[in-house]
Amino acid sequence: MSPAQDYHTAVENATYQPTPMPALALGGIVPSEVYYNPRLDPKNYLEGPLSPNPATRLRQMLARPGIVVAPGICDGISARCALEAGFDCLYQSGAATTASRLGQPDLAIATLNDFAEAGQMVSSLDPSVPVIADADTGFGGPANVARTVRTYARSGIAAMHIEDQVQTKRCGHLMGKQVVSREEFITRIRAAVLARDSIPGGSDFVIIGRTDSAQVLGMEEAIHRLKLAAAAGADVCFIEGVKTKDLLESTVQALAPTPVLVNVISGGLTPSFTYPEAEAMGAKIIIFSLVSCVAMVHAVRAAMHSLKKTGTDFVSAQGMDPKKFFEVMGLDEVVELDAKAGGTAFQTV
């Protein structure tokens, strides 16, 4: 398999007309046709400069060669650090958001408002950089899923993934997961797609279908569910907990031409693939869900222990004074804006 599979090349050979799908029967229910929206055809995103609209930009990145690398962020500080490092896509991890906003584990404790408020803040830091956000199970039935899509899109988020766990879900790398039926999963995907397509003016918001069924029902069922999700309109497929290189490669092949997202968590179910390795396996998006919040735990723990032991934060500060800290948080941008507007409040800072 060639690295950085060109999505357009694969799609050109696909059949776009609605076609019967007896092989993908939903437990006796056969979808009448494959979803197709000509406005969202990947061929429409191949040419021209990258759009300032984050959802459109993400579609351009998906349609063109190269893997999309999205580090997991958990708050404004981690998002600023990711942008400073030069990443052109961010991932708002549900686990990280729950931890940073609530100080709680990833056990379906955070709500739509928690996720949307965090996403709106992160998306505002550089509005052209796509943010892919976790949406858990959609926070309820079809109407709730539709509300989630509209809320995320209004918040400036570029994409969301919605999964097939039961409502009392847990992190995909914990044991004891339970999943809903195929029918309920595809209802969630269909509700998300309908909501996206109903946004006035035409939205490029990206719907990612995620399945956690590999550890519960096996890889064959997981791939089957993702094929159904793609047929229902999911733009990207996300299989949680791929345990080997061979399984990732076979998943990519089975789901082509739909792009595949892989989630890497150190110590989790999926090996610690580098993004060049994942690209060589055919993955189109790779997320590192806990890269910021785990590093933050180590750093803050060390700083707190040092303060407790020595009575000062001098060592942990590593020479970063308040101004240097605020510069990472966008101080220069605020000062420049104030001066251009004719303000004088920040002539000296």
163 labelled catalytic: yes
Please confirm, yes or no, whether 210 is among the known catalytic residues: yes
Catalytic residue among 240, 275, 279, 293: 240
Q: Is 39 assigned a catalytic role?
A: no
Catalytic hit among 75, 134, 212, 235: 134
Residue 91 bears catalytic tag: yes
171 counts as catalytic:
yes
Burial 23-62 (b: 16+ CB within 10 A, else e): ebebeeeebeebbeeeebebebbeeeeebebbbbbbbbbb
- Residues with Cβ within 8 Å of residue 29, at least 6 apart in sequence: 183
- 8, 161, 173, 190: which is the annotated catalytic residue? 161
Among candidate residues 171, 190, 196, 224, the one labeled active-site is 171
Catalytic-residue membership of 161: yes
Q: Are 263 and 289 spatial neighbours (Cβ–Cβ below 8 Å)?
A: yes
Select which of 8, 80, 163, 293 is catalytic: 163
Distance of CA 338 to the CA centre of its chain: 34
Give the whole-angstrom CA distance, residue 282 versus residue 264. Answer: 15
Whether 275 is catalytic is no
* From 45, 91, 152, 275, active-site residue: 91
Select which of 136, 204, 235, 279 is catalytic. 136
* Structure token digits, residue 117: 């408020």
Active site residue 35: no
CA-CA distances (angstroms) from residue 69 to 52, 82, 86, 250, 277? 18, 11, 11, 21, 12
In the set 57, 74, 89, 106, the catalytic residue is 106
Which of the residues 152, 212, 225, 263 is marked catalytic? 263
Catalytic residue among 170, 210, 224, 225: 210
Residues recognised as catalytic:
91, 106, 134, 136, 161, 163, 171, 210, 240, 263
